Amino acid sequence: MKLNITILLLASSLLFGSCTDELLNTIPPSSLTDINYYNDANDMEKAVLGIYAKMQSRKPNDYQLLELSSDNLYGSTNTGFAGIPEIDALAISPNNPILTAFWQESYAGIFRANAVISNIDKPKDYTESKKNQHLGEAKFMRALFYFDLVRTFGAVPKVLTALSIDEARQYKRSATEAIYDQIIQDLNDAIEKLPLKSALSRNRASKEAALALLGKVYVAKKDWTNAETVLRQFFTSYGDNYMLVADYNQLWSLENENNSEVLFSIGYTDGTNGQDLSTAFVPNGGIYNLVSRGSEVALPSWSLHKKIQADDTRLRKTVESNYFSAVSGGQNAIYFPYASKFIVKHTALAAGLDLPVLRLADVILLYAEALNENGKLGDAITQLNKIRQRAFGSQNHNYSIDQLTQKDQFVTALLDERQIELAFECERWYDLVRQGKMTAVMKVEERNYNPSSQIAQKVTLSPKDYMHLFPIPQTEIDLVGKTILEQNPGY
Amino acid sequence: MAKLTNISCLLLCATCGASPLFSVAQQAMTYNGLVKDKQLNVGLAGATIRTSSGKYTSTDNEGKFQLLTSPGDSLTITSVGYDSYRVALTSTPTLIIPLVKSATQLEETVVIGYGSIKKSSLTASVSKIENKNLDQVPSARPETALQGRLPGLNISQTRSTPGAAPVIRIRGIGSISAGNDPLLVVDGFPGASWSNINANDIESIEVLKDASAASIYGSRASGGVIIITTRTGKAGKPVVRANVLAGWSQPILHDDFMNSQEYYETIIKYQNREYFYVGGDTSLPLWGDSRRPAGYQVNPDILNGNDVNWQNAVTKNAPFQSYDLSVTGGTEQSKYYLSAVYKDQQGTLLNTFFKSYGMRASVDTKINERFQIGAMLNPTYQSARTSPLTMDSYNKYPPFVAIQNPDGSYPKARDYWGFNVSSQANPMGILMGTNNQGQTLSALGNIYAVYKILDGLTLKTTLNANMFYNNTDKFQASWASNTGLSSGSAADSRIITLLNENTLNYNRTFAQHHDVSLMAGASYQKATSRNINLLAVNGTFNNNIIETLNNALINPNGSNTLKSVWGMISYFGRANYAYKEKYLLSASIRTDGSSRFGPDNKWGLFPSASAAWRISKENFMLDQELISDFKLRASLGNSGNMNIGDFAYLGLVTGGLYTVNDQTQNWLAQSSFGNNKLSWEKTNEFDLGIDLSFWTNRLSITADYYRKRTKNLLYQVSIPSTTGFTSSLSNIGEIENKGFEFDLNSKNLIGKLKWNTNFNFSFNRNKVINLGGVNERMTSISYGMNWLLRVGEPMFSYYGYKHIGVFQREEQLNSLPKLTGEKLGNPIYEDINKDGKITADDRSILGNFMPKSYWGMTNAFSYRNFDLSFTLQAVIGSKMYNFENQFYQGSVLGNMRKSLVAGSWWSPQEPGDGHTPALSLSQLSFNANSDLYIEDASFLALRNINFGYTFPTDLSSKMGIKSLRLFTSVNNAFLLTKKGFHAYNPEGYTGGEVGGISSTPGYNVGSEPISRVYTFGLNLSF
């Protein structure tokens, strides 16, 4: 009998001993791991879309950092949003959660781009053109993320491969110049590898987009010679493929997302894969016929509103003053100006409208800026007038060489034009900083205009030169130490 | 093998020992006996009679038995709770056997993991509750009935929705991310769910509080262990027991919401204040003057005769009923237990309910002297309908909105006041037009076999299965939605857990004085889960009638199937040694291997040791009568926590959608950092205890001091985002909990009038010891409140400004330090560092959600056939961040509570009481970042009062009834909170408890009213 028991025990322990693997070394049934990914061309395709997806999630929030800081938007009291009040008051602390998220999301995008670039040779089953395309897309996106970082923070850590946690703790900032060099190198690679937009899609990086972005990078760097060269090259090579959309309002419609002006935009699908930017500026009560409810995070400043002339066709798609709430039945408008650019008929918080990253009007104005800086004022005015003419539907508002005789005068006109043309597209802050106008312009911001009394609320701010760069997020500094990640001066 | 067969034959014969057909002994005769309680002189049913020749029988309902055996045999008579009795048979055919109640309460046994032990031999801190009247406390869940009953066990009902699970904590909170729930072991199945348990089926509940007791459950025992032993069959005639309860729940509501006139007057002041803040001229007409912007106007149409108190409109007195039935019986060889339960509880919030159907069947059979098998099956079905929104969404709705239009539609506030006022849908519409339901079917089952290898050595093998199916269906009609869009989702989940456990137990007394018991075991567990999620695209339901998703478009972003799996292998052992029942030693060890951890750290080791000295057994203590028991205990133990995701140590690749040319496509990317070193969170606990009884246990006291340190905390540690990630699950940091527990049981009166008192209290101090390199970590929410983890302070303390007054006058603004942007009506903050400025450095710790002490007292009286008991519970020192207050101060132009706006700053002419600042959405960030909304959530509650009458035995037996008791009870008969506390429920937190690095424990927006519950019921057995 004792023998029986012993056998029983032995048998049971053997029985279960054999299932150690089954019990302890389980394999995730619903997820790949970093070990069995990037194996074939299809994996790389998914991985590349993953890079775009980071921009897809970051882009709709960029206005919180880049437009509320500028004189285009101010925070509505309707919505409490951690971090917005201090950006709005131009008192950005290193602990600001929006700033921190911008940094983190950008590096998350860079990580995905690096993963594609590092693993590009692993799959053996794609055609050479696909491989080139993916490499080009990854480099384009990496450049784009670094471009945003370098303009916002200046010198930042230059990460080009996957880092371990220990490596990351030792990783210092690279000089602004080194970051720009990397961006330019990546974009030149991208220009070489990427196919034309006609072979791809507006929602993926193309050769033209890479070239135009390179021009924009030179402008940001104030390397005017190269900027002019590259942008001229863009217009010479691809100028025929792109043209301004005749009606500015058509730029911001769902039917016309694939317009002749778009170089690269981030794609969204209403309801299932939408963005919330279209809801962000909608007044709390929604808008009749368009959306049932709004987030009302921010409202347009009077500083911007007052600059747009009544006969400027861009007004309606920038600031809409007559407000019809969702339940108004389209009757009895209330005076309540809201930022209308991205507002289309959409599912609340999940709009399908593409968000442009790079469009022709921006490139034309960049070219105009570079021409002016290189002393070609006449050519610059010609470029600027293309935008004016489209905006007013006639040449009546075109600038003449007599109006803008000085380089400086042109810069002022150009900045105003860019402010209106590219309002809420997150260019204003960078424009002011680049042209050294930030501290002058941002001293007073006008908000909350009362048409009866014709008085706007004037908010006095304290812009300082050091604010040209935002602070490095404190959480990042705390994690590596302030000798590794030095804070920008002034903070 | 031959021997075995012989034994089985013998046993089989013994089974039918009373039958002359199988009589094997010569000269046998029939004995008639009566087993009775010596003191009470009444027959004892179900007592076991065993002959020295191996025959069994048991007594009937009256305590009688009949046995055919030979004179010269001896009988051993045993009955639970009584000393066993031995008698040698003579030729006298009638026997009267008086049994004496077991001498001390300490002789009761206590279930510990994988075995049980005499309470007197315990070396660890274990509390036990026998189910004497838990089933008389009306509650949809059994754990609620334990509130205030045990020191060190805190049960808080954070949500009052029907069927909501309370939060249970044993000796504080030690884990940031891996959960702090105690492990629930039901009949040996670890990881069981409270919702499967029917209070009437519970035999006893044991709480293993210190790590020396809990560590036998190793890797899952960090939060303590609660063991539930359910009722099993008892030999004897069938006994039927029934409990029937019915009653109603009455929500305890606020009495200070404004009526529509008060609302109108206050909203005018509110709008004028807002207009003043943007520099407007408040003397302008309130309505119809274009010089005053629409956002600052007040529509006089809202004084339209409607006067709705929405709180009252959406709540009701809700009925409930509960039926419980059980049958137990069998012979000494085969016993059975069957029970069924049905509960139906309506929610006090309209259109919510909880229903539960359950049954349990168990059977135990002795195949022979050495071999016993048994099985248990416990299916439960539950169905609940829940509210889509928290309470604040309903009760703050403005009073000028009618509940319903004559045409049946539900008007919105914006229908009356087109602009400005909250754009939320009508609360009644939301409740009527939303159907969120969940159903759960779960079945716990086991089969076991026990084989007695030698005297004192037994082998037990158990196979457990727990099957869990849940489905959730949600639908919201377009007219019930704030966005005007219909929405819906459906989810199914299935979890199947299999567990095999094998234990060897050896108990023996050597040389009279050396009691030794040994246990060794092995356990194998595997759980697989599968989820299906379907989501409708918002607004795509074809109509508002069909609620299933075939009536809508499916949203690919949110529709998926997912599977997961985890497994564990464990080996464990325990040794107990006692010398003369005086010196007690115990040691245990467990090693667990888990699939959840990285290849470098799959296995964890959890040892423990404890010792006790029963001073009362020493010779010098034997001659006195004052102290009947006196024991000192000390223990050290190590337990673990593995509550992280199934594959958290791997670098997982997950994905989502990206749109290319209006087509959505899948993307995939690595979403987490792999960590091969990932390992257990470990808790070391030290416990010192004393058990003391006086006057033969009339008064007994248990007190414990403990110190618990949780190390290698599993949490998402922040990492530099240049890695591509912001956090990585790691083992870093240390938390300490130390405290004191006191428990007193007293039989104050034992005559005709009986009075028993239980009194207990406990203190717990929580402290962060180490955060892994950083000194503090902070979680912030919109509007500025922070939760701080700082070395040396309790976890997740509130951190913000102290408000010490209000800027009532212009000169204060100019002279006192303030935050940027502060103006008249905003709070004056304390300049903590006295630098003449208010900066982030002036923030300080403002309290903590964790209570400082817990108190409980139960008094039970009985006189003749009447009994009365009541349980008081007090919790002291907890602080709530009661953020919902801002809604009742008009922040969305909703209804307000008078107590919350009284004294606030309205204008330079009406500057308020100097303590209450200007309250509005636009000023919220100046209020919410301070202690203004932090309220003292201490309370004293009369949790239950129960009054019963038991029919006299002679009366009920005439009706063929064994016992019949009628009772009535009131739950939450009263609840006292501190002045200045505004929420419905002092334990009502909607922000969850500690569950990750970004936890906001103590945050409340919209917890439900608790209910006063009136019950009538009867307990019947026959």
Neighbours of B280 (CB within 10 A): 22
Same domain, B945 and B1016: yes
Long-range contacts of B927-930, Cβ-Cβ distance < 8 Å, separation of 24 or more: B927/B803, B927/B827, B927/B886, B928/A80, B928/B783, B928/B784, B928/B785, B928/B883, B928/B886, B929/B783, B929/B784, B929/B785, B929/B800, B929/B801, B929/B843, B930/B800, B930/B801, B930/B802, B930/B803, B930/B827, B930/B829, B930/B846
Q: Which of B187, B764, B658 is nearest to B465 (CA)?
A: B187
Residue B135's pLDDT band (cuts 50, 70, 90): low
> For residue range B860-902, what is the model confidence (pLDDT) as tens digits?
999 999 999 999 999 999 999 999 999 999 988 999 999 999 9
- Does some domain include residue B429? no
How far does the CA of residue B6 sit from the closest CA of chain A (Å)? 13
Least CA distance to A146: which residue of chain B? B722
How far does the CA of residue B921 sit from the closest CA of chain A (Å)? 7
Position B809, amino acid: R
Q: Mean pLDDT, to the nearest integer, of B809-821?
A: 91
The whole-number pLDDT of residue A327 equals 81
Same domain, B554 and B602: yes
Q: Residues of B with CB below 8 A from A104's CB?
A: 721, 726
The whole-number pLDDT of residue B102 equals 65
The whole-number pLDDT of residue B624 equals 87
Kindly compute the dihedral angle of the four CA atoms of residues B138, B140, B145, B147, in this order, to the nearest 10 degrees.
Answer: -120
Same domain, B460 and B592: yes
Ramachandran area for residue B539 (φ above 0: left; ψ -120 to 50: alpha; else beta): left
Distances in whole angstroms, Cα of residue A303 to Cα of each of A63, A72, A90, A392: 17, 7, 16, 20
Q: A462 touching B, CB under 8 A?
A: no
- Does some domain include residue B764? no
- Alpha-carbon distance of B872 to A287, in angstroms, equals 54
Q: Mean pLDDT, to the nearest integer, of B672-682?
A: 91
Same domain, B83 and B30: yes
Residue for token digits 């496509």? B665
Task: Write the DSSP symbol of residue B993.
Answer: S
Query: What does pLDDT average to over chain B?
Result: 90
Query: For B542-580, what is the HEC assignment?
Result: CCCCCCCHHHCCECCCCCEEEEEEEEEEEEEEEEEEEEC
Is the pLDDT at B637 greater than 90, yes or no? yes
Mutate to test the interface with A, among B461, B557, B559, B653 (most CBs of A within 10 A): B653
Whether the CB-CB separation of B518 and B573 falls below 8 Å is answered with yes
Residue B38's pLDDT band (cuts 50, 70, 90): confident
The whole-number pLDDT of residue B947 equals 94
- Alpha-carbon distance of B159 to B180, in angstroms, equals 18
Q: B381 touching A, CB under 8 A?
A: no
The whole-number pLDDT of residue A121 equals 95
Residue B826's pLDDT band (cuts 50, 70, 90): very high
Report CB contact under 8 Å: A165, B721. no
The whole-number pLDDT of residue B15 equals 34
Ramachandran area for residue B773 (φ above 0: left; ψ -120 to 50: alpha; else beta): left
Helix count and strand count (H, E) for chain A: 19, 9
- Does some domain include residue B273? no
The whole-number pLDDT of residue B2 equals 38
Same domain, B807 and B847: yes
For B92, the domain range is: 2-99
Position B576, amino acid: N
Query: What does pLDDT average to over chain A?
Result: 93
Same domain, B579 and B641: yes
Q: Domains of chain A, with CATH numbers? A: 41-241+470-480 (1.25.40.390), 268-353 (no CATH), 358-468 (1.25.40)
- Alpha-carbon distance of B407 to B656, in angstroms, equals 44
Range B651-684 burial, b when 16+ CB lie within 10 A, else e: bbbebbbbbbebebbebbbbbbbbbeebbbbbbb
- Does some domain include residue B288? no
Is the pLDDT at B17 greater than 80, yes or no? no
- Alpha-carbon distance of A447 to A339, in angstroms, equals 13
Q: Which of B1013, B1014, B990, B1006 is nearest to B314 (CA)?
A: B1006
The whole-number pLDDT of residue B200 equals 84
Within 8 A by CB and 6+ apart from B42, the residues are B36, B63
The whole-number pLDDT of residue B150 equals 87
> For residue range A176-207, what is the model confidence (pLDDT) as tens digits?
999 999 999 999 999 999 999 999 999 999 99
> For residue range B227-267, what is the model confidence (pLDDT) as tens digits?
999 999 888 889 999 999 999 999 999 999 999 999 999 99
Same domain, B836 and B952: yes
CATH code (residue B210) = 2.170.130.10
Position A140, amino acid: F
Q: Mean pLDDT, to the nearest integer, of A297-311?
A: 97
Is the pLDDT at A78 greater than 80, yes or no? no
The whole-number pLDDT of residue B18 equals 36
Q: Mean pLDDT, to the nearest integer, of A291-300?
A: 92
How far does the CA of residue B593 sit from the closest CA of chain A (Å)? 7
Is the pLDDT at A6 greater than 90, yes or no? no
Look up the ipTM and state it.
Answer: 0.95
Is the pLDDT at B137 greater than 70, yes or no? no
Q: A483 touching B, CB under 8 A?
A: no
Within 8 A by CB and 6+ apart from B780, the residues are A82, A97, B786, B787
Is the pLDDT at B138 greater than 80, yes or no? no
The whole-number pLDDT of residue B134 equals 63
Of B76, B99, B122, the one marking the end of a domain is B99
User: B 646-705 residues with CB below 8 A of A?
Assistant: 646-647, 650-662, 664-670, 673-674
Residue A145's pLDDT band (cuts 50, 70, 90): very high
Residue B22's pLDDT band (cuts 50, 70, 90): very low
Whether the CB-CB separation of B24 and B14 falls below 8 Å is answered with no
Q: Mean pLDDT, to the nearest integer, of A339-358?
A: 96
The whole-number pLDDT of residue A398 equals 96
The whole-number pLDDT of residue B3 equals 39
Residue B332's pLDDT band (cuts 50, 70, 90): confident
Is the pLDDT at A353 greater than 70, yes or no? yes
User: A 251-270 residues with CB below 8 A of B?
Assistant: 257-258, 267-269
Least CA distance to A2: which residue of chain B? B453
Q: In what order do the strands lie in the sheet with A32-33?
A: A32-33, B652-660, B663-670
- Does some domain include residue B289? no
Is the pLDDT at A18 greater than 70, yes or no? no
The whole-number pLDDT of residue A13 equals 52
- Alpha-carbon distance of B931 to B866, in angstroms, equals 50
Q: A444 touching B, CB under 8 A?
A: no
Is the pLDDT at B104 greater than 70, yes or no? no
The whole-number pLDDT of residue B927 equals 92
Q: Mean pLDDT, to the nearest integer, of A308-324?
A: 96
Would you report the helix, strand and coil content of chain B in percent, each value rounded to 5? 15, 50, 35
- Alpha-carbon distance of A318 to A298, in angstroms, equals 13
Is the pLDDT at A459 greater than 80, yes or no? yes
Same domain, B173 and B224: yes
- Alpha-carbon distance of B123 to B688, in angstroms, equals 10
Q: Residues of A with CB below 8 A from B452's CB?
A: none
> For residue range B951-978, what is the model confidence (pLDDT) as tens digits?
988 887 788 888 899 999 999 999 999 9
Least CA distance to A50: which residue of chain B? B667
Q: Mean pLDDT, to the nearest integer, of B551-579?
A: 94
Of B684, B711, B733, the one marking the end of a domain is B684
What is the distance between the terminal CA atoms of chain A, rounded to a whole angstrom? 82
Whether the CB-CB separation of A293 and A304 falls below 8 Å is answered with no
Is the pLDDT at B992 greater than 70, yes or no? yes
Whether the CB-CB separation of B376 and B360 falls below 8 Å is answered with yes
Least CA distance to A271: which residue of chain B? B537
User: Would you list the DSSP string of B9-56?
Assistant: HHHHHHHTTT-GGG--STT-EEEEEEEEETTT--B-TT-EEEETTS-E
The whole-number pLDDT of residue B794 equals 97
- Does some domain include residue B570? yes
Domain count within chain B: 3
Residue for token digits 């032993």? B229
- Does some domain include residue B999? yes
Same domain, B89 and B141: no
User: A 378-437 residues with CB below 8 A of B?
Assistant: none
Of B32, B65, B99, the one marking the end of a domain is B99
Mutate to test the interface with B, among A5, A23, A93 (most CBs of B within 10 A): A23
Q: Residues of B with CB below 8 A from A137's CB?
A: none
Q: Mean pLDDT, to the nearest integer, of A441-449?
A: 94
Same domain, B822 and B853: yes
Same domain, B1001 and B856: yes
Closest partner residue to B564 among A29, A204, A258, by Cβ?
A29
Same domain, B579 and B606: yes
Is the pLDDT at B1022 greater than 90, yes or no? no
The whole-number pLDDT of residue B1014 equals 95
CA triplet A152, A155, A161: central angle to 5 degrees?
105
Closest partner residue to A328 among B418, B563, B673, by Cβ?
B418
Closest partner residue to A448 among B278, B656, B925, by Cβ?
B278
- Does some domain include residue B131? yes
